[in-house]
Structure 1
Amino acid sequence: MNYESKISEKEVGVAILDDGDDQGRSKRRLMIVAAIAVAIILAIVAYQYFAGSGDGAAADAASDSQAPTVTVMIPGKHDVVRTINATGTLAARREIPVGVVGDGGRVTQVYVDAGDWVKPGQIMASIDRSVQNQQVARLDASVASARADLNLAQANLDRATKLVERGFISKADIDRLSATRDSSAAQLRVAQAQLGETRARNNFLDIVAPKGGFVLERNIEVGQTVSPGSGTLFRLAQNGEMELQAQLSESDLANISVGVSTEVIPVGTNKVLKGQIWQISPTIDAQSRQGMAKIALSYDRALRPGGFASTRIKSGSSQAAVLPESAVQNDSKGSFVYIIDKDNKVIRRDVTVGSVSAAGLSITSGLSGAERVVLRAAGFLNPGQTVKPIVEKDKAA
C-alpha cells in the first residue's frame, strides 16, 4: 500500500510538471504568432505606402507627359506710335467755279480742257463779239463828235472873251458861251464813259482764269450759246492743291491737331503721299457721331477729286506691349489673352487693344509686359489647364 502511494505521488508530480510545460509552450506560441502578425501588418502598410507613392509619381509623370505644348512670348514694353486709320473723299482744297461774267453770246473758241494748267488771267474761251465791236465803233465816233463840239465851244468862248474888252459882246453872251462849253465837256465825258463801259463789257466776253490752277472740269463747247444763267463752264483747283476729307470719330478728333503729318493712299494705287492736317471740323455730325479732318495734299496724278483714299495719321507715341494678332482672342466680354503662370497653368487676362501696325496689336491695358503670353492655339485651351510652355526665342534657338 505504501508502495502504491509512492507511485501515485510520483505520477502526480510528473503530471503536474507536464501541465506547467504545456502552458509555457502555449504562451510562447501565442507571442510568436502575435509578432508574426504585427510584422505582416507592418509589411502590408509599408507596401501600400510605398506602392501608393510610386503610383502618384507615375500619375504625375503621366500627367506631365500628356500636357500640351504651347508657344509663349514675353512681350515687354515698346515705343508704339499711335496711328489713326481713316478713309475719306478727295476734293480740291480751293475749288473755283468759272462762268460767264458779261452778257454772253456764241462761243467761238475754247483754249483749255480738263486736265490742263492755267495761269491767272489766261483766256480759257472766247465769245463772238461782232455786234459789240460795232457798238464800240459807234461810241468811239460819239466821243470824237463830243470832243469836236467841246473844241468849238471853247474857241467861241475864247473869241468872245477878247471882244468883251472892246465892248462888242455883253457879259451875258460870255455866260451863255461858257455854259455851252461846259455842256460840251459834259457830253464828251458821257460819251467816253459809255465807250469805256462797252469796252469793259466786251472784255468780259473772254472767259479768263481768275486764279492759276488745274482745270478739273469743262462744260463748254464751240458754237454753244452761253449767258450768265448758263452755270459753271469751268471748274479749277487753285494752284492744283488737293485735300482728303477724312471722317474721324470724336475720340480720334480729340487726339489730333492742325499740322500733324499723315500718309494718304488713293484707292486703286500703291502710292503713299505725304499730307498735313490743315483744318479740323469744329462740329460733330449728330447722326454719325463723326467729324471731318481736312488733309492738304500737293498735286499728284493719282489724286482725283470725288475719289476715295485711306489715310494713316500719327497722333503721338506711348509705351505698350505689342502682340501678334494670333495671340489676341475675342468673345462677348471683349478682347483677352491667355497667359501661363508660375505653375504652368492657363489664366485668362482681359486686355484693351490699341492701334494696329505692321508689328502687331498694341495692348494699352491689361499686360505689364513681363507675362508669358500664349501666341497660338489659344482657342484650344481652357483656364486652369496645365501646359508645357516653350518661349518663342528659346524655340527658335
Structure 2
Amino acid sequence: MNYESGNYEREQLALPGEAAAPPGRARRAAVVVAIVLVLGLLFFVMGHKKHGTADGGPAQAPSVTVIAPGRQVVDHAVQATGTLAARREMPVGVAGEGGRVTRVLVEPGQWVAAGQVLATVDRSVQTQTAESLAAQIKVAQADATLAQSELDRAKALVANGFVSKADIESKTATRDAAAARVRVAQAQLAQQRATNGRLDIRAPAAGLVLTRQVEAGQIVSAGSGVLFRIAMAGELEMRASLAEQDLAALHVGARATVTPVGQTQSFAGQIWQLAPVIDPATRQGVARIALRYDPALRPGGFATAQIVGGASTVPMLPESAVLSDARGNYVYIVDGANKAARRDVKTGPVTDQGVSITGGLSGTERVVVAAGAFLAPGQTVKPVLQKAG
C-alpha cells in the first residue's frame, strides 16, 4: 500500500504532457552533463595557456623592474680602528740637578709657551754659590788691576835702567795670569747661573699640557722620570691599525674621517705617515692620521676611522639586485629579446648609494632590480624601466 502511494506521488510531479522518467536514468544524465562541462573547461584553459606560451605573448610574461645603472664615481674606503695620541708628545723631566719642588704652575689641559716655567725647584743653596762666585770675580779683577799698574810703572823705569827687561817680562806674565783668573771666575759664575736656571722645569716648546705627575714639596732629580707630558702645538693624531693589504692601498695625504668611541661627532684628518714596517706577529701596520686640536679628542681614547684610499668610476646597483650562490655574486639582466640572463659580477665597497660593481657590467645593461631569485635563465619577462637614482 505504501509503495504504490509513493510511486503515485512521483508520477504526480511529472510535467503535464510528459511521461515520468525513471529515477536512475535522471541521475546518470546529470553526472554525464557535469563530466562534459569539466572536460570542456579544462580543454579551454589548457588550450589558452598553450597558445600563450607558444607565442611568447606578453600577457603571460611576468613584469620585472629593471634599471640601467650607468657609471658613478665611488670612493674606495678602508675601515680602521686605533687610538688617539699626541702627534708629537714631549716628555718633560728634570734637566738640572733637581731638588725640592716649591711650586707647580700649570695643570693638564692648559696651553704653554716655549720656555714657560712649569714648576720651580728650591735654589737657596745654589743662589749662595752664585754670590760667592760673583765675589771671586771682583777679587780676581782687583788682582788684575794691581798687576797692570805694576807693569805700567816698571815700563816707565826701564828706560832709566832701574828695571831690567826680565822684570818687565815677569810683571807682564803676572798681569796676564790675573786677567785669566778674572775670565775663569766669570765663566764659573755663568755656569752656576745656567745651572740655577735649569732648576726650573720649563716647556721645551709651545703646546698643550697633557699630564702632570709632580706636586709641591716633592724631591725630584734627573732620575725622577717624566713630570709633564706636552702635545707640541696641540697637534693630535689617530694611530690606525690596518692589515698589510689595506695599508698598501693607501698613500700619504689620503683623507680620513675619525669618530671617537662614544661620540657621534666626526673629525676630518689626513694620513701624514704610513708605517715603513709590518708587525710580524699581527701582520698589521700603522697609518698615522693628523687631526686638529679639539676638546672632544682625548689622547689615549679609542676611535674608528674611514679612510678614502682612492676613487673609481663604476656601476652602482641596489643591494636587492645583487644575488649570490656557490658560484659567487651575480645579477639578472634583460636582453634585447626581453629574456632574463644571468651575469656574474664582482662587487666592491657597499655605500649608502648601493653596491659598487667592479667587474661584469658596463653600466648600459638593463639589470633586474628585484625578484631576480624567482627568475630562470631564458625566461621571457616584461621589463619596467626604473630611472637610476
TM-score, with normalisation over the residues of structure 2?
0.77
Tell me: CA distance 1:377–1:306, structure 2 relative to 1, closer, same or farther (3 Å): farther
Moved more, 329-338 or 240-249: 329-338
How well do the aligned residues superpose, as a CA RMSD in angstroms?
A: 3.3
Write the letter of the residue equivalent to 1:94: R
Cα distance per residue 1:165-209 (max 9 Å; x no partner): 333333333333222222222222221111111100000011111
Structure 1 residues 348 and 286: alpha-carbon distance in aligned structure 2, compared to 1, 3 A threshold: farther
Separation (CA, whole Å) in 2 of partners of 1:80 and 1:54? 52
SS in 1 for 2:231: strand
For 1:287 and 1:366, locate their aligned partners in 2 and report how far apart those are by CA, in whole Å.
37
CA distance in 2, matches of 1:71, 1:348: 16
User: Kindly tell me: are residues 200 and 331 of structure 1, through their superposed partners in 2, closer, same or farther at Cα, counting changes over 3 Å?
Assistant: farther
Report 1:1-397 matches (<5 A): 55-58=46-49, 71-339=65-333, 347-376=341-370, 381=374, 383-384=376-377, 391=384, 393=386
Please say if residues 72 and 389 of structure 1, whose CA atoms lie closer than 8 Å, have aligned partners that are also in contact: no
TM-superposed CA distance for 1:104, in Å, is 0.6
Query: Distance between the aligned counterparts of 2:283 and 2:380, measured in 1?
Result: 46
Moved more, 251-260 or 97-106: 251-260
Q: Amino acid of the residue matched to residue 48 of structure 2?
A: A
**Structure 1 contact 340–389 (Cα < 8 Å) conserved:** no
Relative to the length of structure 1, the TM-score reads 0.76
- Can you give the 5+ residue segments of structure 1 that lack an aligned partner in the other structure? 1-47
What displacement does 1:300 show? Answer: 1.2
1:278 Cα offset (Å): 1.9
Q: Secondary structure at the match of 2:276?
A: coil
Task: Find the aligned partners of 1:129 and 1:389 in 2 and give their Cα distance.
Answer: 94
Q: C-alpha deviations, 1:20-73, integer Å up to 9, x for none?
A: xxxxxxxxxxxxxxxxxxxxxxxxxxxx9xx97862433676999998765543
1:264 and 1:114, CA in 2 relative to 1: closer, same or farther beyond 3 A? same
Alpha carbons 2:340, 2:381 under 8 Å: kept: no
Go from structure 1 to structure 2 and tell me whether the alpha carbon gap of 1:238 and 1:163 turns closer, same or farther (over 3 Å shift): same
Letter in 2 for 1:103: E
Query: Contact conserved, 2:315 with 2:356, CA < 8 A, in 1?
Result: yes
Larger radius of gyration: 1
Of 219-228 and 337-346, the range deviating more from structure 2? 337-346
For the 8 Å contact 1:82–1:315, the answer to whether it is kept is yes
The answer for the alignment partner of 1:41 in structure 2 is none
Q: Which moved more, 1:58-67 or 1:149-158?
A: 58-67
* CA offsets 1:333-356 (integer angstroms, 9 cap, x no match): 443334456677665443222122
Which structure dedicates a bigger proportion of its chain to helix?
1
Q: For 2:302 and 2:333, locate their aligned partners in 1 and report how far apart those are by CA, in whole Å.
A: 41
Deviation of 1:126 (Å) = 0.7
Residues 169 and 73 (structure 1), Cα distance of their counterparts in 2 relative to 1, 3 Å cut: same
The answer to whether the 8 Å contact 1:262/1:276 transfers is yes
Distance 1:308 1:219, change over 3 A: same
Instruction: Please tell me the residue identity of whatever aligns with 2:175.
Output: R
Name the % identity. Answer: 52
Shift of the alpha carbon at 1:129?
0.5
Structure 2 CA distance for partners of 1:270 and 1:172, relative to 1, 3 Å: same
Partner-residue secondary structure (3-state), 2:240? strand
In structure 2, C-alpha distance between the alignment counterparts of 1:60 and 1:131, rounded to whole Å: 115
Residues 76 and 311, structure 2, Cα contact 8 Å, conserved in 1: yes
Residue identity matched to 1:89? T
Is the contact between residue 69 and residue 387 of structure 1 (CA under 8 Å) also seen in structure 2?
no
Counterparts of 2:356 and 2:94 in 1: how far apart (Å)? Answer: 57
Rounded Cα–Cα distance in structure 2 between residues aligned with 1:247 and 1:60: 65
In the alignment, the residues of structure 2 paired with residue 343 and residue 266 of structure 1 have an alpha-carbon distance, to the nearest angstrom, of 54
